[in-house]
Structure 1
Amino acid sequence: MERIVSVRPGIGATASILQGRELRLARVVVDQPTLIVVACGRKRLVNGGGEWVLDSGGAVVVAGGQAFDVINTPGADGGYRASWLVFDARVLARYGAERPEVPAVSAAVALPRLEPDFLDAYGRAVAAVTAGDALPAPVAEQRLREVLAWLGLYGARPACAPGGSVAARVRDLFAADPARGWTAADAARHLAMSEPTMRRRLAEEGQSASRILIDVRMHRALMLLQSTDAPVTRIAFDVGYDSPSRFAVRFRERFGHSPTAIRAGVLESVE
C-alpha cells in the first residue's frame, strides 16, 4: 500500500513514519499541534526545556511552533514505527472555547502508556481524516474531539503556536506553499509592511526571510521522505527545487543526512 500524507481541510492531517535504523535529527520544528503515537521502538525529543522519551504504546502531545532534537530508535524487531495526527486550528479553537480549564500544552507532554480505548479513539480519528468526504465533516470533527477529550484527562490540550512574531508569520506564509518562488518582497507584501521594515524586524528576531524559507522547505521534505513513498526527485520539486542535487546539498546542510540516507532507513511498506 502506498504511503501518503492525508490532509482533510478543516479537520486535520495524518501519516505514518517507518524507519529501519536509528535516526538523529537536530532542531526539528513542529509547526502545528501534533499527537505522535509510537507503535514500535523509542522516540526521544530534547530541547532546552526538557526531554521526553516514549516507548512502544506511548505518545507525545506537541504544541505548535516547538523545535526539538529528535532521536528515533528501532525496537527489538529492527524497526521504528509511529504515526502522527495534526489537529486543524479551527477544531482546536472550538474545543478550547468549550474546555478552557484544560491546560494548553506549552512544549510537549509525554503519555507513557495509552489506554486501549484511547488507541481505539485515535484509530477512528485517523480514519476520519483519511476518509475524506466519505465521512461527513461534523462526524469527522467529533472523532478528533474524542481524542482531545482523552488528552484532556491527562491535562493536555494541544495548542497552536503564538502568531505574534514576524518570523512566525513569515514561516506560516511560506509553509502554505513551499514550492513557490518566494522573495522577501512577496512576503512583505503579504504581511502588509515594507520590505525594509520586515527585514529589520526579522533581524531583531535573529532571522531572515531566506533562512526561514530554506528551513520550511527542508522540514516539508523531511516529512515527505519519512511519511510517503514519493521519489526523492519529486519531493525536491514539491519543495521548490528544480535541481535534485542542489536540494540534496541543502538537506544535508540542514539535517546532517542526505535525502537518500533518510529514505534508505525507511522500511518497505506492507499491505
Structure 2
Amino acid sequence: MQSKQITRGMVRASKPQTLRQVSCLQATLMRVRSGEKHFWINERAHVARADHLIMAPAGLTLNVHNLPDAHGYSCEVLVLDADLLQQFRLQYAEQVLALLAHPPQLFSPIQGTMRQLWDELFAAVTRSESEPLLRHRAQGLLLALALAGLGGVLFADRETGVADRLRQTMLLQPGRDWRLAELAHQFFMGESTLRRKLDQEGHSFRKILDQVRLNTALGLLQSTQLPIGEIARQCGYASHSRFSQRFQKQFGIKPMQLRATHP
C-alpha cells in the first residue's frame, strides 16, 4: 500500500518505447537510472540521461521516447499530490519565493544530498513507511531541490480550474462509473453550470475522464505485471478491445505492443 500523498513506480524497457501526448496528472519526479529519456514539449526536444532528475508539473503534456542502453532502460518515478506541495509552499514560503525567481528548469543531474534523499524516500515508499515520515522525507527532498535552485516548475502559480478539480477527484477512483450529475453535486453546482464551466476552459467531461483513465492505465502497464485485461477493468473499461483502441489513439501504441518492450 502506498502513501496517499506519494506514489512510486519503476518503468523498465528492453526495447525503445515511443509514446505521444502523455499527461502528468499530478506533479511527477522521474529519475533515469539507465538509458535515456527523450521528450518533447511544444516541439522542443530534451534528453535526460542516467542520474538525471526530471521535474514535471501537474498538467504537463509531453511526447516521450525511452531509449535503452546496454543495461536496458529504467526510470524511478515519484508522484506528489497537490496537498503535499501546498504544505511545502506554506512551510517554506521564503524558499519557494526565492526559487520562483530562478529560470524554470525541467531536468538536472541528481547528485550528493539530493541523490541520498531520493534513495531514502523511494525506499521508504516501497516499504510503506508511515504517512508522517514519508511526508517529512518528501519535504526534505523538495527542500534540497529548492536550495539548489531546482523544482520551481512544481510550484509555479497556475489557476486551478474546474477541469483540474475533476481530474483530482477522478484520480481517486479511475475505474468508477463517473457521472457528470454526480460530480456537479459534489462541487455544489448544477450539471449545466459544470458543463458550461468546462466548455469555457476548453474541456469536456468525457475527454477528462478518458485522460485520467488512459494515463492511469499507462502507469500500470509500465510499472506492474498486471494482465492488460485487469488494467483495463481497473481503469473503467469493460471491453478489452475498446480499451486497446482508446489507448492506441491516445499514445500511438497498443497496450500489447508497449508490454512487449518490457524486459
TM over 0.5: yes
Q: Which moved further from structure 2: 43-52 or 222-231?
A: 43-52
- Following the alignment from structure 2 to structure 1, what is the Cα–Cα distance between the partners of residues 258 and 234? 17
Report the AA paired with residue 61 of structure 2: A
The equivalent residue for 1:110 is 107
The equivalent residue for 1:81 is 74
| 1:49 CA drift (Å) | 8.2
Structure 2, unaligned runs of 5 or more: none
* Contact residue 3 and residue 131 of structure 2 kept, 8 A: no
| 1:210 CA drift (Å) | 0.9
- Following the alignment from structure 2 to structure 1, what is the Cα–Cα distance between the partners of residues 122 and 111? 17
What are the equivalent positions in structure 2 for 1:144-155 lying under 5 Å apart? 144-155=138-149
| 1:108 CA drift (Å) | 5.4
2:9 maps to which of 15, 20, 23: 15
Is 2:6 aligned against 1:27?
no
What are the equivalent positions in structure 2 for 1:182-193 lying under 5 Å apart? 182-193=178-189
The equivalent residue for 1:179 is 175
Is 2:140 aligned against 1:140?
no
The equivalent residue for 1:123 is 119
Aligned pair count? 257
* Contact residue 64 and residue 160 of structure 1 kept, 8 A: no
The equivalent residue for 2:247 is 251
- Following the alignment from structure 2 to structure 1, what is the Cα–Cα distance between the partners of residues 103 and 23? 14
Q: Which moved further from structure 2: 156-165 or 24-33?
A: 156-165
The equivalent residue for 2:214 is 218
The equivalent residue for 1:90 is 83
- Following the alignment from structure 2 to structure 1, what is the Cα–Cα distance between the partners of residues 241 and 206? 19
* Contact residue 65 and residue 161 of structure 1 kept, 8 A: no
| 1:114 CA drift (Å) | 1.7
The equivalent residue for 1:202 is 198
The equivalent residue for 1:3 is none
Structure 1, unaligned runs of 5 or more: 1-5
- Following the alignment from structure 1 to structure 2, what is the Cα–Cα distance between the partners of residues 181 and 160? 33
* Contact residue 40 and residue 81 of structure 1 kept, 8 A: yes
SS at 2:29's partner residue? strand
Report the AA paired with residue 177 of structure 1: Q
Change (3 A) 1:200 1:92: closer
What are the equivalent positions in structure 2 for 1:27-46 lying under 5 Å apart? 27-46=21-40
Is 2:53 aligned against 1:59?
yes
Report the AA paired with residue 164 of structure 1: T
TM-score, structure 1 length as denominator? 0.86
* Contact residue 35 and residue 50 of structure 2 kept, 8 A: yes
- Following the alignment from structure 1 to structure 2, what is the Cα–Cα distance between the partners of residues 19 and 142? 32
- Following the alignment from structure 2 to structure 1, what is the Cα–Cα distance between the partners of residues 127 and 135? 12
